[in-house]
Amino acid sequence: MRGIARALLALFAGALAVPAFAPVGWFPLAFLSLALLVGLLERADSARAGFCLGLAWGMGAFCAGVSWLVIALSRYGGVFLPVAVLVVFLFCAFLSLYPALAGAFYARWRRGSTLRRALFFAGLWVLVEWLRGTLFTGFPWLAIGYSQTPPSPVAGYFPIMGVYGLGGVLAFVAGLLGICATDQAGARAVGRWRVPAVLIALICIGGWGLSRLQWVEPDGEPFTVSLVQTNIEQSLKWDPDFFDETLRINADLVHAARGDVVVLPEAALPTMLDRLPESYLDMLTGFVRERNGALVIGVFTRDGTQYSNSAVTFGEGAGQRYSKSHLVPFGEYSPPFFGWFYRLASIPMAQQTPGAANQPPLWLFGRKIAVNICYEDVFGAELVSSLPQAGLMLNLSNLAWYGDSFAQPQHLQIARARAMETGRPMLRSTNTGMTALVLPDGSVPAALPAFTRGVLEVEVSAYKGLTPYARWGDAPVLVVALIGIVAGVGIRRREKLPVFAGEGGLQDTIRDPRRLESVLDAIDET
C-alpha cells in the first residue's frame, strides 16, 4: 500500500506541473512538482521503485498536458473516441518512459551530499528531456523549462542555455528542495537549509540580472507585417463544398491587409498550388503589388507524385519557397510498421514529403526571414541553423486540429522561448490562434484573440547579433549534464571511522565484537 500511495502522489505531482505552463502560468508549480518527485525518489529503495515513481510522474504530466491530442484524432481524424483515448494514453505512457529512466537511475545511484545529489538529478533530467526531444524525431512538448517564460525570475537563462538548460536549473533547485525536505536530520537542523537557500537565491538573482542584458540589437528600419488569422473550422477546411468560400475569405483578408509583408497561415489554401486558378493568384498578388509588398502563402506544393507543406512568396521577392522539413509522425507521415494507424484514421494530406534540411531564409522586403511551419518551432536547435543570416523568424500554423484547448497557448509559450533563445522576433500567422508578435525578450506586445477572423498589423525590426545559445546550441548544457551525472555516480558515501585512541579506542574496540564489526563495515563502505 505504501508503494501505491507514493505512486499516486507522484501522479499528482506530475499533473501539478501542467498549470505551471500556459495558459495558467503558475510557474512556481514546476519547482514544486519536481521537488515532490525528488522527495519521493529519496525514499525509493531500488531502481524499480524509482522507475515506477518517474513513470507515474510522467503519466500525470502528459495525460493532463497533451490530452488535446484526443480532439485531433476523434473529432477531426475519424478515430473512434475510445480508440483515440487509448492511443493517446499509450503515447503518454511512452513519453513517461523518459522521466521513469531518470527516476530509476537516481534511485539506484544517488550518493553524496545534498548538493551532489541535486546536481545528479539535474543532469539526469537534462539528458532525458533532450532524448525525448531527439529520439524517434522527438516530442519536446512540455519540456519543463518552457514553464519559465517571463515573469519567471529564471527566464534570463533562455538566451544562455536554452530550454533544456533552463530545465536543468529548475531540476537542480527542485532537487535541493526535495532532498532537504526529505532529509529528517536536515528538517530538524535549520542550518542544513542555509546553503540551498543561498544557492536558490543566487540562481534567481542571476536569472533576473541576465534578463537585463542585451544580446542582440535592431538592424535597420522597422517595417510592417500583416499576420492573417483566417479562423476556418477544421471540419470545413477540406470540405469541397466550402472551397470557394475559403478562397473568398483569404482574398478578403489579403485585400484588407496593409503591411509591407502579408502572411497567410499554414495550408491557408487547402489544395495544391498548381491547382489554384492563375487569375486568383494574380488577384492576391495585385493587392500587395500596389505598395511593392510581399505575400507569403501557406499552401501545398508538389513535385511529381510527392507533395510538401510549404510557404510560397508572391509579389516582391516572388518565387521563393520553404517546405516543412520536420514532419509530425502519424499526422504528416507514417513511421515504419504503423501503416495500420491510417486504416483507423482519416487524416488529409497525411503522407507528406519533408523539405531539405537547413533551407535558406526568405528574402522579403530587404530582410532575411527564417520560416518554420507549425510544429517545427518546438525544436530550438534546428531553428538556430538559420542564424545569424536571418533577422526575423516566421511561423505559419494551423492548430484548429486541437479545438479550444491548451494547445494554442502552450504553442505561443514555446514561441516565446524560441524568441529568447535566438534573439529574434517570432512572427506567428495561424488559422485559429495564437496569431502574435513575440519580441526577443519573450514579451508579446500584440496578439489576436483566438477563434476570431482578422489581420494583426505589427511594426517590427530585424535583429542582428547572436545569443550564447544561438552560437553554441545544446552542446555545452549536455556536457555539463554528463559531468553532473558522472560526478554523482562516482561519489561514495564516506562513513566517519570510530576513534582508535583514548577512551573507547582500539583496545575497547577489539574487546567489543560489535564495535569491531562496525569498523569493518565502515572500511568496506569506504
Mean pLDDT of 164-188: 85
Q: What is the pLDDT of residue 447?
A: 97
Residue 390 · residue 370 · CB < 8 Å:
yes
pLDDT, tens digit, 9 for 90 and up, residues 182-237: 876 544 555 667 778 888 899 999 999 999 999 999 998 999 999 999 999 998 98
Mean pLDDT of 270-278: 92
Rounded CA-CA distance 106/125 in Å is 10
Rounded CA-CA distance 422/507 in Å is 68
Bridge partners of 295?
262, 314
Q: Pick from 310, 309, 350: which is nearest to 333 by CA?
A: 350
Residue 383 · residue 372 · CB < 8 Å:
yes
Residue 344 has pLDDT above 90, yes or no: no
For strands 362-364 and 367-373, give the pairing: antiparallel
Tell me which DSSP letter residue 436 carries. Answer: E
Mean pLDDT of 106-133: 94
Rounded CA-CA distance 93/79 in Å is 19
Rounded CA-CA distance 167/390 in Å is 27
Tally of residues, the chain: 526
Active-site annotation, residues = 266, 324, 374
Identify residue 171 by its one-letter amino acid code.
A
Q: What is the pLDDT of residue 191?
A: 60
Residue 81 · residue 74 · CB < 8 Å:
yes
State what percent of residues in the chain have pLDDT above 70: 89
Residue 143 · residue 164 · CB < 8 Å:
yes
Reading the block at residue 512, the C-alpha cell is 567489543
Rounded CA-CA distance 389/361 in Å is 8
pLDDT, tens digit, 9 for 90 and up, residues 452-486: 999 999 999 999 999 999 999 999 999 999 999 99
Residue 162 · residue 419 · CB < 8 Å:
no
Owner of C-alpha cell 529503495: 45
For every residue of 122-166, DSSP letters joined together read HHHHHHHHHHHTTGGG---TT-GGGGG-TTSTTGGGHHHHHHHHH
Mean pLDDT of 6-26: 97
Mean pLDDT of 22-32: 96
Distance between alpha carbon 302 and the CA centroid of its chain, in Å?
Answer: 30
Burial of 335 (0-12, 13-18, 19+ CB in 10 A): exposed
Residue 31 · residue 177 · CB < 8 Å:
yes
For strands 269-272 and 261-263, give the pairing: unpaired
Compute how many other C-beta atoms are within 10 angstroms of the C-beta atom of residue 3. Answer: 12
CA separation (Å) from 295 to 90, 220, 223, 314, 371? 42, 21, 14, 5, 13
